[in-house]
């Protein structure tokens, strides 16, 4: 329990994860009623970005970046060369592409597909980091 509610950053990131999961589930459940997907994409992208920032802060990823340049500094939970770092960086690129392309391509069927790709990528990143924290 201390892993997810040990300090303020952990508690807020846990609440954000639960909120994102509820938002994705609610949006998917109401997808037939949704006519404009831009708002859902914007909310999910901003919420996901905030979550990524808090999780990186919680796991002390900034120390891993500093440790890659200075061997006297101890890295955070995941090193910059770790599989978690690589997968989450690739996931971030997919999230950025989905979010930015949805600004320029205004077809709702395209935005709906981008929402589902965005949701899947965010869920994948959550699973990678949280399972890694539990297992390592």
pLDDT, tens digit, 9 for 90 and up, residues 66-109: 999 999 999 999 999 999 999 999 999 999 999 999 999 999 99
The DSSP call for residue 136 is -
Q: Quote the tokens at residue 61.
A: 């990823």
Q: How would residue 136 be classed by pLDDT, with cut points 50, 70 and 90?
A: confident
pLDDT in tens, 6-49: 889 999 999 999 999 999 999 999 999 999 999 999 999 999 99
Q: How would residue 1 be classed by pLDDT, with cut points 50, 70 and 90?
A: low
Are the beta carbons of 132 and 78 closer than 8 angstroms? yes
pLDDT at 2: 67
- Rounded CA-CA distance 103/99 in Å is 7
Q: Tell me the average pLDDT of the chain.
A: 94
Model pTM? 0.91
Are the beta carbons of 59 and 78 closer than 8 angstroms? yes
Residues 6+ apart with CB under 8 A from 56: 62
């Amino acid at each position: 329990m201390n892993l997810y509610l040990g300090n303020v950053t952990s508690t807020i990131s846990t609440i954000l994860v639960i909120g994102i999961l509820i938002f994705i589930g609610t949006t998917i459940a109401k997808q037939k009623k949704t006519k404009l997907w831009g708002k859902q994409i914007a909310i999910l992208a901003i919420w996901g970005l905030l979550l990524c920032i808090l999780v990186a802060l919680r796991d002390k990823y900034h120390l891993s970046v500093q440790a890659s340049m200075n061997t006297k500094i101890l890295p955070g939970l995941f090193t910059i060369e770790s599989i978690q770092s690589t997968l989450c960086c690739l996931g971030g690129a997919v999230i950025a592409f989905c979010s930015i392309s949805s600004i320029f391509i205004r077809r709702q069927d395209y935005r709906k597909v981008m929402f589902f790709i965005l949701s899947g990528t965010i869920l994948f990143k959550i699973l990678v980091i949280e399972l890694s924290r539990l297992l390592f």
